[in-house]
A and B are shown apart, each in its own frame.
Chain A
Amino acid sequence: MAELTAFHAPVAKAEKAKVARTSNRRRRAIVLAVVLGAILVAALVAGLTMPPEFYASDFSQKQQAPSAAHWFGTDFLGHDMFCFSVRGLALSIVIGLFASAVSGFVALVLGSVSAVCGGWVDKVVLWLADLLMSIPHMVMLLLISFSVGGGTFGVVLAVALTHWPSLTRVIRAEVLRIRTGEFVAASRAVGKSDLWIAWHHVVPNVLPQFIVGTILLFPHAILHESALTFLGFGLPLDSPAIGAILSSSMKYLATGAWWLALFPGLMMVAIVLLTFTLGDEIKQLTDPHTVQE
């Protein structure tokens, strides 16, 4: 063989690709889920089983700034704001869970029915969704809550009835996309029944979207419940919901009692942010396109 030039000469070995340590999204999601779950369970258990003396009024202790004895300070009636906030949070969480579960269920049913039936059913569902989305959220919440006489039932109903449209649209679009997808056409061509396709093709593709959507509804529900209560159209002001606490705290902000609104507000913000982040992480992890990023 001719020309064996430099063939067996050692070749400068290029440096191997350095492995950048990228953050582990799966670990982050699990940590988030555990932290959030722990907070929710702790708040629920503590808030719902708290003995009354923990949040009884004590006029000798009123209007105190945060201290070792009263972490979040006390209000004008001498309530311990920490215990008060935890109870409020528990109530908000219960309402949020309930409202988001109802909304999610409504969205699942309406979204799938509208995608599967098509025709006038689809038109009606979309029309309803558009109608609800075109009216400002707050106005709808107020109207619904007010029309059934307010209270806990009013709030849950209002939040549940106003939060389904966006998720309904997502589910409808997803079901439609899958039903008309090439892999479903191929499945049908090899003789699979509609039921088989629904179970094996549609459910595994829609379920992650549904779960993520419902998780993301939860913080919305909490925020809207608080907002409604804050405005005085939700839970009665003597119930210890976060919205009610914030509403009554407003009156004392001018007197310098900043802690009354700050801590309960932060607690709510923390829960909302954690839930949003977790929902986003789960969304990325369940989407085949972003699962590896």
Chain B
Amino acid sequence: MSGERTERERATGGADKPACEGGQRQLHPEPEADPILEVEGLFLSFTQYGTGLRQRTLEVIHDLSLTARAGELVAVVGASGSGKSLLAHAIFGILPDNAQVAGSMRFRGQELDAELQETLRGTRMAFVPQSVDYLDPLMRTGEQVRGVRGTAERAREALDRFGLDERVERLYPFELSGGMARRVLVSTAVIEDADLIVADEPTPGMTLEMAKEAMKTFREFADAGKAVVVITHDLDLAYNTADRIVVFYAGQTFEIADAADFRDGGTRLRHPYSRALVDALPQNGFRPTAGTQPYADDLPAGCLYAPRCAFKSEECEAGHPPFSTYAGGQVRCFHPLGGVGAADDVPGKANSDDAGLKVQAREAEQARVVPSPNARLLEAAGVSFEYKKGAPILESVDFSVREGEIVGLYGPSGRGKSTLAYLLSGRQKPQSGVISWDGSPLPSRGYCPVQLVYQHPERAVNPRWQLGKTLTESWNPPRELQESLGIEEAWKKRWPNELSGGELQRFCIARALNPQTRILICDEITTMLDVVTQAQVWRAIVAQAREHNMGVVAITHNLYLADRICDRIVEI
């Protein structure tokens, strides 16, 4: 990477279309194929403490159903904090002690109780957990991947698939970058001979190619007769690989549809929320939906989506819609849309038609900003960095960003994008080279003109502060900004461990959007967010940045997103 700074031509929609080989396959396995996993009418609740001695029960999953058959790849998509990971944890019996589960879960027709879960876990059911924290911190990568039953050759093979060389086998988890750790996690599942594989967010932090490779691996497993459930935010990857897609929202299944229904702007989708998801993709409308997912202790009386739904009626606000079959899929809605062969007059059609898309795209095009040459400049010149032992992370890298421009920073994991973000924001000092702001070093005291929004929001907020305090730590963000970021008034009284990563991230962003900030560095800040929230958050950031002439560095693996929001894209 020495000194090479390629001004990447803007990614165009077609160039990197993440369609996997085998993406165009027959969509359903034989309907008679063995159901491997059947979840029916699942309820999940937590007993929590309220104020004082009071205990309350929060029901976070309500009446949820899901079936995965042999030979099938099922993708679960939906809002962050909608209970996707909890479902996976419930299947494997690894929920915390204060959780209660009701309903039925069956593995090959057998009731999945604690005993069966224990026997099947790691033998016939494999789990790819979401976070690096699930790796044993004291075990080298190679050993972890090998597991109890694997052999060194198979581990090598699995790691090879994901471009992890022998050096990586000897590393400990803390030495891995975010994307490398995910690849290691996926490799652990690869060498198990399981009938059922559940992967919880396996792809964030991976480049498009790696993510495709990971999904291809899952596809191959499904084709080999296993049942695979992939929980993901990456809708685009999901509908290009999966057979069926299950849409979650606030702990309910809103829709189960063929993956193909998500193509072509999602006009065949039945539920308004599924459409909102498709519509929020950066390559589509990038349109956020107002409002936020309701919290488990404050659910609306009727349909859980009613408060945000454009098509709601009185019926929706009064009663719970049943989950029923409609037009070739299943949907939980009183007024389902679309379906196969949907009529043109279906409401919401106009929302996602192609003409609208082009208009949007043109607007974005016009919005690209060329900063004035006398705008202040944050510059990294010939910067190198390495940790105490091991290979250098960065070698004489040049990078610059001016006030008022939005720059995308794109590149494979492990290339030092996060490290560069650290150096640029003054959190770490480079071993050689210079970081300068407006010609001089960054100030070590007072408000730093360069602010960093960190990849893991749960580490960026004080766990013992109510979030209102985090929000106002830097400045008092105006109501409108809080609303455009989707920060709910009630969240300010909550503790960080009560909110999802996506919800916490909005507080971190609001904190850093102080107008005193001249350059905002966003290190993969939306990878763990659902697409609707991603669109909402990025629109708010771009609006604030433009209003106050801030520069933004957006580190991302999503080229569509980069293309949507950035004035230029730099590849590292």
Q: Chain A residues in contact with chain B, CB under 8 A?
A: 1-11, 14-20, 22, 24-27, 30, 181-183, 185-192, 200-201, 204-205, 288-289, 291-293
Contacts and interface: CB of A to CB of B under 8 A. Distances in A.
A191 B445 CA distance: 6
Given A17-B43, A17-B45, A19-B57, A205 B464 contact: yes
B353 interface: no
Contacts of B242: none
Contact of A14 (B55, B101, B103, B512): B103
B464 A26 contact: no
B459 A189 contact: no
Interface stretch (B171-179, B233-241, B446-454): B446-454
B53 A27 contact: yes
Question: Lowest 6 A-B CB distances belong to which pairs?
Answer: A14-B41, A17-B43, A190-B474, A11-B322, A17-B102, A191-B447
Contacts of A288: 463-464, 495-497
Contact of B452 (A15, A26, A30, A189): A189
Interface string B41-78: 10111111100110101010001000000000000000
A183 B462 contact: yes
Contact of A4 (B44, B103, B326, B474): B326
Contacts, number: 139
Contact of B448 (A10, A20, A27, A191): A191
Nearest to B427: A185
B459 A183 contact: yes
Nearest to B57: A19
Given A5-B326, A201-B462, A190 B53 contact: no
Contacts of B41: 14-15
A183 B100 contact: no
B100 A2 contact: no
Nearest to B343: A1
B451 A189 contact: yes
A206 to B, nearest CB: 10
A5 B325 contact: yes
Contact of B98 (A15, A189, A200, A293): A293
B105 interface: no
A188 B497 CA distance: 23
B508 interface: yes
A3 B327 contact: yes
Given A185-B427, A186-B460, A190-B474, 14 more contacts: A3-B327, A7-B326, A14-B63, A17-B43, A17-B103, A20-B100, A25-B49, A182-B454, A183-B460, A183-B470, A189-B425, A204-B465, A292-B46, A292-B47
B326 A16 contact: no
Contacts of B470: 183
B55 A24 contact: yes
B100 A19 contact: yes
Interface residues of B, number: 63
A191 B103 CA distance: 52
A269 B336 CA distance: 67
A192 B445 CA distance: 8
19 contacts: A1-B343, A4-B326, A6-B325, A11-B323, A11-B324, A19-B47, A20-B47, A22-B98, A24-B53, A182-B456, A185-B452, A186-B473, A186-B512, A188-B448, A190-B473, A191-B447, A288-B496, A292-B96, A293-B98
A8 B321 CA distance: 9
A30 B63 CA distance: 37
A201 B473 CA distance: 11
Interface in B366-397: none
B79 to A, nearest CB: 21
Contact of A17 (B44, B328, B425, B459): B44
Contacts of B59: 16-17
A186 B512 CA distance: 9
B97 interface: yes
Contacts of A11: 322-324
B469 to A, nearest CB: 8
Given A3-B327, A19-B45, A186 B97 contact: no
Contact of A291 (B323, B426, B462, B497): B497
A2 B102 contact: no
B102 A187 contact: no
A15 B102 contact: yes
A68 B474 CA distance: 69
A5 B512 CA distance: 51
Nearest to A7: B324
Given A189-B451, A204-B464, A291 B49 contact: yes
A186 B511 contact: yes
Contacts of B452: 185-186, 189
B259 interface: no
B14 interface: no
Contacts of B48: 292
A167 B328 CA distance: 63
Interface in B501-541: 508, 511-512, 514
A1 B334 CA distance: 13
Contacts of A291: 49, 497
A190 B511 contact: yes
Contacts of B454: 182, 186
A289 B47 CA distance: 14
Contacts of B325: 5-7
Contacts of B339: 1-3
Contacts of B98: 22, 292-293
Contacts of A10: 322
B465 to A, nearest CB: 7
Contacts of B511: 186, 190
B324 A6 contact: yes
B570 interface: no
A189 B323 contact: no
